[in-house]
């Protein structure tokens, strides 16, 4: 007896390839949004603004237009900020970036937390006029 092998039998992988291409497109488009990861902040301008110095250790606190607080690009509350500052070494530079359209009260609350925790090493970022 002779076994017959038909050419049409086998695994059809075309639908699998279609699904994988769609998943690849989704991953690539999402990864570009994640890679940007910056909070858009329109800094106030000042004629005395200086270029930012490179520090090996730095924490960035950003206040956006809607008064949201972000610590190193992650949304946080004032209580989270207080806990972070309490366990941060006073030698670590804290860079404060506040949108020019945000409420001044939020910025003052952050300064109060820094002063309460005796953390005097901070900078306020502005744009050069």
Read off the pLDDT of residues 47-76 as tens digits, 9 standing for 90 and up.
Answer: 655 565 554 578 888 888 888 888 888 888
pLDDT at position 20 is 93
Q: Per-residue confidence at 99, pLDDT binned at 50, 70, 90?
A: confident
* Topology, domain 45-128: Nucleotidyltransferase; domain 5 (3.30.420)
| Residue 3, both tokens | 């076994």
Adjacent-strand bridge partners of 59: 94
When comparing pLDDT for 70 and 11, which is higher?
Answer: 70
When comparing pLDDT for 65 and 5, which is higher?
Answer: 65
Nearest to 98 by CA among 112, 87, 108: 108
- Mean pLDDT across the stretch 74-90? 89
φ, ψ (nearest 5 deg) of residue 128: -75, 135
Predicted TM-score of the model (pTM): 0.59
Nearest to 122 by CA among 101, 106, 113: 113
Question: What are the structural domain ranges in the chain?
Answer: 45-128
Instruction: For the chain, state the CA radius of gyration.
Output: 26
Q: Per-residue confidence at 10, pLDDT binned at 50, 70, 90?
A: confident
pLDDT at 82 over 60: yes
> What mean pLDDT, rounded, does the chain reach?
79
Nearest to 107 by CA among 49, 56, 63, 47: 63
Q: Per-residue confidence at 34, pLDDT binned at 50, 70, 90?
A: low
CA atoms of 117 and 126, how far apart (whole Å) = 24
pLDDT at position 40 is 64
């Amino acid at each position: 007896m002779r076994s017959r092998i038909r050419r049409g039998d086998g695994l059809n992988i075309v639908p699998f390839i279609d699904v994988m291409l769609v998943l690849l497109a989704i991953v690539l488009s999402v990864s570009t949004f994640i890679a940007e990861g910056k909070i858009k902040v329109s800094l106030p301008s000042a004629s005395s603004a200086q270029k930012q110095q490179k520090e090996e250790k730095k924490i960035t606190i950003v206040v956006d237009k809607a008064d949201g607080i972000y610590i190193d690009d992650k949304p946080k509350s004032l209580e989270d900020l207080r806990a972070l500052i309490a366990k941060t070494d006073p030698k670590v530079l804290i860079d404060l970036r506040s949108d020019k359209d945000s409420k001044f009260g939020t910025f003052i609350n952050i300064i109060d937390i820094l002063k309460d925790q005796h953390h005097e090493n901070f900078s306020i970022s502005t744009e050069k006029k």
